[in-house]
């Protein structure tokens, strides 16, 4: 399989994120209730905005360091692993998280977070990571980064459910301020 260049791979990944997580209707694409889209239909409907091929999509899925997407076993469908703002049911099963999880954000958000906690905003869940390095990378996208420590063990003991997406991102509905420290 000929390898696509990095610029095309990044453009394809961004496009797939936008369409599969947020705006499938922009190209008239229908996601099933679990967020799956037919790859051939996606390729056809993406024209002329972007020229996608199955090989390009497969390369993005396989080589993405963030593993944002998943192919069905028969390689006929694709979906985003998490981060949706459109209604989908990823069939996530509650799991026990590590005692501490991390959330990266910008310094300017600290006061608001300590008043309101972490909310899903336009997405289905609050996204948490298992390591500080990932949280720093996420926080850098929003300004001067800070890393928040989430007492996930205590949250779970108090009845809060956690899920883990196929790409390892930890998800929960909300994180109240009493479970957050720097």
CA angle 136, 111, 158 (to 5 degrees): 80
Assigned fold of 6-80: Arc Repressor Mutant, subunit A (1.10.10)
What are the structural domain ranges in the chain? 6-80, 101-181
Predicted TM-score (pTM) of the model is 0.79
pLDDT confidence of residue 66: 81
| CATH C-level class of 101-181 | alpha beta
Q: How many CB atoms are located within 10 Å of the residue 173 CB?
A: 14
CB 145 within 8 A of CB 107: yes
Q: How confident is the model at residue 2, as a pLDDT?
A: 61
Ranges of the chain whose pLDDT falls below 50: none
Residue 128: the pLDDT is 97
Q: How many CB atoms lie within 10 A of CB 113?
A: 18
CA separation, residue 99 to residues 8, 111, 139 (Å): 39, 24, 21
């Amino acid at each position: 399989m000929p390898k696509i260049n990095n610029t095309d791979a990044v453009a394809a990944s961004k496009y797939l994120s936008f369409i599969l997580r947020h705006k499938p209707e922009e190209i008239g694409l229908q996601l099933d209730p679990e967020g799956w889209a037919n790859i051939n239909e996606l390729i056809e409907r993406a024209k002329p905005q972007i020229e996608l091929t199955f090989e390009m999509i497969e390369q993005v899925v396989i080589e993405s360091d963030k593993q944002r997407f998943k192919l069905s076993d028969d390689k006929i469908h694709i979906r985003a692993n998490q981060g949706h703002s459109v209604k989908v049911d990823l069939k996530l099963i509650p799991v026990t998280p590590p005692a501490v999880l991390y959330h990266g954000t910008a310094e300017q958000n600290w006061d608001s977070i300590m008043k309101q906690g972490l909310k899903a905003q336009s997405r289905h869940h609050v996204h948490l990571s298992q390591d500080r390095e990932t949280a720093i990378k996420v926080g850098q996208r929003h300004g001067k980064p800070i890393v928040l420590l989430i007492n996930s063990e205590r949250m779970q003991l108090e009845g809060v459910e956690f899920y883990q997406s196929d790409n390892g991102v930890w998800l929960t509905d909300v994180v109240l301020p009493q479970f957050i420290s720097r």
